[in-house]
Chain A
């Protein structure tokens, strides 16, 4: 089988690139070895939010100019990154998800432990807070759990929020809306995961004509006159943002849903919107298969073999490798080495295991392994045995030279490099329609 573009990896970077290619009329397939990291993501897009000294960045596009030349942003460039983010916002809107930003500044995303993480784009259901003054105008915060959901702990979140000087004097109201109030009838509501709870609510509560009113009056009762009401993201996957807006209208409250431990509904929402958009544009999404290796000739990749159909290599003129980090298996490790497992591309990584990580697990300093990844050219072409592969581009967390978590840059790098790679491909393909 022959495609114009094969994208390996169906996460944020891969799908952004794939949608761009499909939109340009290229015959595109995404091969995704299982669900992507979006299922564990916040559903917001961060671009660049934290400096090395742990201070917050207000204007990411200005800040990224000072990054070292090896950083993916220096290869993509600020202008292209911004175009990519605009494109992404439009595509998400086309798939029914409105993303908003906070003028030309980063905003604060509230986490389920009450921390503030800088973000550039957020879904409507997640209330954006001013990054440097998150507590502005908020004196009373209600943190409301839904039906004893075990992956949300209002007390912990309140304790986390109180660490901010702005919230330290705030009044916190903690409550739980009980299963009985919500008509939930299942084996054990206390063990439901976020998605299971959303499905149960859809079946037992929202199927009733007054379902949303039951919820809104319960929220109102629990939250009192709070200036901000925080709830875990468990109400709905599809249409979750609209539901929050409706609840705000019904209650007159300012409501913020926060992503929880996996599965994260805002992240899943984004993943399914991207897949839907890609399919709408005629793309082929092949899930559950895995690229095992490629056929290289004259520093070009001509085809890939997959695990399920190794006898039927799939060929293409261009490829994007967006296989993610270690947990997505874009990078691999054994006792002595770090490597790129699909094509054996050159990675930059010290061999001594002791240097891969730090003694402290999470204290704001990055572990070395988080900036390990594939070495690429200025055009994001990787090297194999020192030779540049001209028709293969790398995007997202598989790249080296950045610290997605410490910098709060995972979303921007994924979108920016996916967009950049797709545009490089489109530029060389005569049949592609230059729409941008």
Chain B
């Protein structure tokens, strides 16, 4: 099944625009860039699989090439599928650990305080660096002791009181690492008279699995999740995600990369700010008090890819008192698990430098972004705290 070729490369008119947007090619000369790695290389690989170029491993699947492409070529997908077809993924223990976020989460959260202390300790970080190649300069995400699902157990009764309901695909990070955004989503939706339910069971959307080449596992997850969506949509209006990469994967990567058909319910899988702004447009807008802050908004690659920046900007602009400065739409360089890998650390930092510099030059109270991975990278590399748009909105409800 994964041998399927994405034939959109046939529409490439060799205009080179993709090469101007690739954050990896900009800083890493070993990466031949999206034109060569994608549509140019694909014709050669179809002719002869031996012409596969190992340098494709440098692609972070940020999809900026696809956003820039005026010909509708799924450049990033072409590259991911090529990597899968030609064994272009290194799948060692490190990749397993980094990509199996839900498994690691469920193992770590019960012992969160210990794990969190341990993973911040220098000797441990050194060990992870040496043994697994997880760069010691990176701050590893902390685990929460109380998962989001556990917290939500106590909200169930409250949520059941609402007539309207949505299902929340919380994703691994909200569940195992930091439930804050999930809690804020519940608060915001409740203020709009909408209740929240969770899926009976939820597996990682698959984005880190795809990025590390675990396509079979990603597919299994996708199939399980699709089954769960079908069930839950019987009693709820739609499935919402607060993490852009989750939303992109559920909506676009399932059919394009994993060949898991979602067309029957795709319209009902939404990024949270898309749903909220749609409600605003219908007149369902909660009372909001001014939030007198000046913030810089960083648009995550995967939100740009799914056309969602327009919704988040609409949401932020509707918060009274908030001054939003939109940063140049550049990549922060983290790309999920990519920046954690030792060999990518410097590339990752170089990619993000433009974003860091721009933030530091602005006099803002906070940086705002939708993506947890961007948040980590920006917080590690600037003096600013990073908030999720829903956090600001929740704040404005008070």
Chain B positions near chain A (C-beta within 8 angstroms): 13, 15-17, 19-21, 25-26, 29-30, 66-72, 267, 274, 277-278, 281, 304-311, 313-314, 326, 329
Residue of B nearest to A33 (CB): B70
The answer to whether residues A284 and B267 also contact, given A1-B277, A2-B281, A306-B307 and a CB cut-off of 8 A, is: no
A-B contact pairs, 30 of them (CB 8 A): A1-B277, A1-B278, A1-B281, A1-B314, A2-B281, A33-B70, A34-B17, A34-B67, A34-B69, A35-B68, A186-B29, A193-B19, A195-B19, A199-B26, A262-B16, A262-B17, A263-B16, A263-B17, A268-B20, A284-B313, A289-B307, A290-B72, A306-B307, A308-B306, A308-B308, A309-B274, A311-B267, A327-B15, A327-B70, A328-B70
CA gap between A262 and B35 in the complex, in Å: 13
What residues of A have a CB within 8 angstroms of the CB of B72 in the complex?
Answer: 33-34, 290, 329
What residues of A have a CB within 8 angstroms of the CB of B308 in the complex?
Answer: 308-309
Residue of B nearest to A186 (CB): B29
Least Cβ–Cβ distance between B208 and chain A, in angstroms: 23
User: Is the pair B267, A310 in contact by a Cβ cutoff of 8 Å?
Assistant: yes
The answer to whether residues A29 and B310 also contact, given A2-B281, A312-B278 and a CB cut-off of 8 A, is: yes
Least Cβ–Cβ distance between A403 and chain B, in angstroms: 21
What residues of B have a CB within 8 angstroms of the CB of A33 in the complex?
Answer: 70, 72
Q: Is A196 close to B, CB under 8 A?
A: yes
Q: Sorted from nearest, which 9 A-B pairs have the closest CB atoms?
A: A288-B67, A308-B307, A34-B70, A289-B307, A187-B29, A311-B267, A35-B17, A262-B16, A186-B29
Residue of A nearest to B252 (CB): A308
User: Is the pair B20, A279 in contact by a Cβ cutoff of 8 Å?
Assistant: no
CA gap between A195 and B20 in the complex, in Å: 7
User: Is the pair A329, B70 in contact by a Cβ cutoff of 8 Å?
Assistant: yes
User: Is the pair B70, A286 in contact by a Cβ cutoff of 8 Å?
Assistant: no
What residues of B have a CB within 8 angstroms of the CB of A34 in the complex?
Answer: 17, 67-72
What residues of A have a CB within 8 angstroms of the CB of B313 in the complex?
Answer: 284
CA gap between A310 and B290 in the complex, in Å: 33
- A33-B72, A39-B15 are known contacts; what are 6 more A-B pairs with Cβ within 8 Å? A2-B281, A286-B307, A287-B68, A288-B67, A308-B306, A312-B278
User: Is the pair B304, A287 in contact by a Cβ cutoff of 8 Å?
Assistant: yes
What residues of A have a CB within 8 angstroms of the CB of B20 in the complex?
Answer: 35, 39, 195, 263, 268
Least Cβ–Cβ distance between A188 and chain B, in angstroms: 8
Least Cβ–Cβ distance between A305 and chain B, in angstroms: 11
CA gap between A128 and B267 in the complex, in Å: 53
CA gap between A311 and B268 in the complex, in Å: 9
User: Is the pair A288, B314 in contact by a Cβ cutoff of 8 Å?
Assistant: no
The answer to whether residues A187 and B30 also contact, given A288-B67, A288-B307, A306-B307 and a CB cut-off of 8 A, is: yes
Residue of B nearest to A326 (CB): B13
What residues of B have a CB within 8 angstroms of the CB of A306 in the complex?
Answer: 307
> Interface readout for A274-287 with B: 1 if CB under 8 Å, 0 if not?
00000100001011
CA gap between A329 and B72 in the complex, in Å: 10
Least Cβ–Cβ distance between A119 and chain B, in angstroms: 22
CA gap between A310 and B308 in the complex, in Å: 12
User: Is the pair A288, B304 in contact by a Cβ cutoff of 8 Å?
Assistant: yes
What residues of A have a CB within 8 angstroms of the CB of B310 in the complex?
Answer: 1, 29, 284, 286, 314
Q: Is A40 close to B, CB under 8 A?
A: yes
What residues of B have a CB within 8 angstroms of the CB of A193 in the complex?
Answer: 16, 19
CA gap between A40 and B66 in the complex, in Å: 18
What residues of B have a CB within 8 angstroms of the CB of A279 in the complex?
Answer: 326
What residues of B have a CB within 8 angstroms of the CB of A199 in the complex?
Answer: 26
**Which listed residue, B17, B67, B274, B309, touches A39 by the CB 8 Å rule?**
B17
CA gap between A36 and B68 in the complex, in Å: 9
What residues of A have a CB within 8 angstroms of the CB of B304 in the complex?
Answer: 287-288
User: Is the pair A262, B278 in contact by a Cβ cutoff of 8 Å?
Assistant: no
Least Cβ–Cβ distance between A300 and chain B, in angstroms: 19
**Which listed residue, A263, A288, A329, touches B19 by the CB 8 Å rule?**
A263
Least Cβ–Cβ distance between A334 and chain B, in angstroms: 14
In the complex, which residues 341-362 of chain A have their Cβ closer than 8 Å to any Cβ of chain B? none
What residues of B have a CB within 8 angstroms of the CB of A2 in the complex?
Answer: 281
What residues of A have a CB within 8 angstroms of the CB of B277 in the complex?
Answer: 1
CA gap between A33 and B307 in the complex, in Å: 11
User: Is the pair B25, A196 in contact by a Cβ cutoff of 8 Å?
Assistant: yes
CA gap between A36 and B72 in the complex, in Å: 13
User: Is the pair A262, B29 in contact by a Cβ cutoff of 8 Å?
Assistant: no
What residues of B have a CB within 8 angstroms of the CB of A39 in the complex?
Answer: 15-17, 20
**Which listed residue, A36, A196, A327, touches B13 by the CB 8 Å rule?**
A327
In the complex, which residues 61-98 of chain A have their Cβ closer than 8 Å to any Cβ of chain B? none
CA gap between A327 and B281 in the complex, in Å: 35
What residues of A have a CB within 8 angstroms of the CB of B29 in the complex?
Answer: 186-188
CA gap between A33 and B69 in the complex, in Å: 8
CA gap between A188 and B13 in the complex, in Å: 25
**Which listed residue, A287, A307, A312, touches B274 by the CB 8 Å rule?**
A312
Least Cβ–Cβ distance between B145 and chain A, in angstroms: 37
> Interface readout for A157-192 with B: 1 if CB under 8 Å, 0 if not?
000000000000000000000000000001110000
CA gap between A268 and B70 in the complex, in Å: 15
CA gap between A36 and B20 in the complex, in Å: 13
Least Cβ–Cβ distance between A396 and chain B, in angstroms: 14
CA gap between A308 and B26 in the complex, in Å: 27
Residue of A nearest to B277 (CB): A1
CA gap between A52 and B99 in the complex, in Å: 63
In the complex, which residues 249-287 of chain A have their Cβ closer than 8 Å to any Cβ of chain B? 262-263, 268, 279, 284, 286-287
Least Cβ–Cβ distance between B256 and chain A, in angstroms: 13
What residues of B have a CB within 8 angstroms of the CB of A262 in the complex?
Answer: 15-17
**Max chain B Cβ within 10 angstroms of own Cβ: one of A36, A186, A312:** A312
Residue of B nearest to A287 (CB): B67
What residues of B have a CB within 8 angstroms of the CB of A1 in the complex?
Answer: 277-278, 281, 310-311, 314
CA gap between A207 and B89 in the complex, in Å: 36
CA gap between A318 and B30 in the complex, in Å: 47
Least Cβ–Cβ distance between B11 and chain A, in angstroms: 9
> Interface readout for A1-28 with B: 1 if CB under 8 Å, 0 if not?
1100000000000000000000000000
What residues of A have a CB within 8 angstroms of the CB of B67 in the complex?
Answer: 34, 287-288
CA gap between A57 and B215 in the complex, in Å: 61
Residue of A nearest to B70 (CB): A34
Least Cβ–Cβ distance between B137 and chain A, in angstroms: 21
